[in-house]
Amino acid sequence: MHYLNTDAQIIMFRDMLNSEIYVDKSSLIQKITPLIRTNAKYVCITRPRRFGKTVNANMLGAYYTKGYDTHELFDDLNIAHTDHYESHINRYNVIHIDFSVFPDFCDGYDVYLKNILRKLQEDLRETYPALKGREYGGISEMLSDTKDSFIFILDVWDSVFSEKYVTEADKIHFLRFLKTMLKDRPYVDLAYMTGVLPIAKYSSGSELNMFWEYNFMNDQVYEEQFGLTEDEVKQLCTKYDTVSYEDLEWWYDGYLMSDGRHLFNPRSVNRALTDGVCKNYWTETGPMNEVADCIENNVEEVREDIVKMVSGVPVEADLSGYSAAEQELYTRDEILSAMVVYGFLSYHDNCLKIPNHELMEKFQRVLSRDSMGEVKEIVDRSKEMLAATLACDADKVAAILEDVHDREIPFLMYNDENSLSCVITLCYLYARKDYRIEREEKSGKGYCDYLFIPRKRGVPAIVLELKVDDSAENAIRQIKDKKYVQRVESFGNVILTGISYDRKHKKHECIIEKISLID
């Protein structure tokens, strides 16, 4: 058997349970089960890669599939304590198709789809002998002739859409295939579908409009089941004690639920706890290159937004109504909504931000692309800026800032407080290789504008304070009076950097002092 009532999902879910790190998400079953045989039986969950879609799809398959006894997998999970646990476990015919599995040497859409249809037809004829010897014009006719009903679990429905050989006509054909198999069919007990791309924009007509779609921008129902909550991560840290919660939070937190609670990237947290080290586990595969290409083609639309978000400044945008499913994006809102869908940005209360350090590293690379124009030129000088700061060359630092300001990039013209912060971010972008840079962080008796916290010993920390229409001398005095070095004094050597900008004379001033706190 290939798709119908197989033990494949049972095996894969058992492997997950046997893994060193597993977080119980079986409450999803409690949410999905009441939808069976109702008008709400069509559910589509769209999330970025690495957010547990396949794990949950395997869990549903392992729970519902008839012909097996999977109590041993679920008796210790939360679902076992619900009223309807026994009523539904192993009670359904389940057709589970992972659309990301391609036949060997697949070189065309026809080969891909015919392989799926062949396997499903073989399964149906083997399970329902009355179908043997009959010819059918479509899979829906075969399913109807079984005189039975099915739960459909269709994982990563959109996988084929990213293949280069798939045409727009192929996409339309695939949507119609799903529609014909699922829509208004009495044999459908439940259709649970997952993907990265929302179906709403692809299916702008009536193809799949029966699905209730839940994505990162509109989901208030299943949001806790895809991602790790703060409490879950804290419990994992207590149990495994390989990395600190604070490090996991900085690296992988930042996705927000509808009520403002935080979600962590589950795959990255799992890898960090298993390996005992926090680093960038976001693989290079996937849609990031596509989004970056769209930025290149629409750089004027989104360049300012990206610079602001890399600087830690949230960007306001009303993305309601955007499903961001198209591969070719043209407007600012389409590009930004695509970044939310792909998990590169978090979106809450009409505000966009880069979720965490893991994604921040990706966006920093975007600023170095040729398409960013003068922004790239500023970034290219950021190595020189760091070297001048470490050498206590205050005149050089001021000169670089003057050069940036003289370029007359509109959003870097110090029209507001955030503009100067954006300039500092660009000019010190290279420093992020060796430093964890924090803005407006509590230190000593106040909040320092910038703390450059070394990633390794032997590198001096940097405390940077900005002043507008004030003096760099007062910036240095504030660092000392409010004891901003307190957060970084353990590193021994600290470089105090005061930068001021005189709006009347349009001049920058810089003072740098190096202090040693080593006895």
Domain boundaries, the chain: 8-224, 227-275, 288-372, 377-516
Per-residue confidence of the chain (519 residues) as pLDDT tens digits? 799 999 999 999 999 999 889 999 999 999 999 999 999 999 999 988 889 999 999 999 999 999 999 999 999 999 999 999 999 999 999 999 999 999 998 989 999 999 999 999 999 999 999 999 888 889 999 999 999 999 999 999 999 988 889 998 999 999 999 999 999 999 999 999 999 877 765 655 567 889 998 988 788 899 999 999 999 999 999 999 899 999 999 999 999 888 889 999 999 999 999 999 999 888 655 555 666 666 776 777 788 888 889 888 889 988 865 554 455 667 888 888 888 888 889 988 889 999 999 998 888 888 888 888 888 899 999 999 999 999 999 999 999 998 888 887 777 777 666 788 888 889 999 999 899 888 875 554 556 789 999 988 889 999 999 998 899 999 999 999 998 988 888 888 999 999 998 888 888 999 999 998 765
> Any bridge partners for residue 228, and if so which?
264
Long-range contacts of 359-366 (CB under 8 A, 24+ apart): 359/254, 359/282, 360/310, 360/432, 361/280, 361/432, 362/282, 362/288, 363/306, 363/309, 363/310, 364/310, 364/429, 364/432, 366/292, 366/295, 366/306
Alpha carbon distances (Å) from 464 to 145, 382, 387, 424, 449 = 73, 15, 15, 10, 6
Neighbours of 365 (CB within 10 A): 11
Q: Return the structure tokens found at 27.
A: 């409450």
8-224: CATH number: 3.40.50
CA nearest neighbour of 249 among 436, 103, 31: 436
Phi, psi of 443 (to 5 degrees): -155, 130
The pLDDT assigned to 197 comes to 79
Q: What is the C-alpha separation between 237 and 270, in angstroms, rounded? A: 11
What residue type is 91 in one-letter code?
Answer: R
The pLDDT assigned to 205 comes to 57
Question: Would the CATH topology of 8-224 be identical to that of 377-516?
Answer: no
Q: Return the structure tokens found at 92.
A: 């359904």
Q: Where is 139: in which H helix or E strand?
A: helix 139-145
CATH of 377-516, one of 3.30.70, 1.10.3430, 3.40.1350, 3.30.200: 3.40.1350
Query: Hey, what CATH class is 288-372 in?
Result: mainly alpha
pTM, whole model, 2 decimals? Answer: 0.86
Name the residue with tokens 């993907």: 195
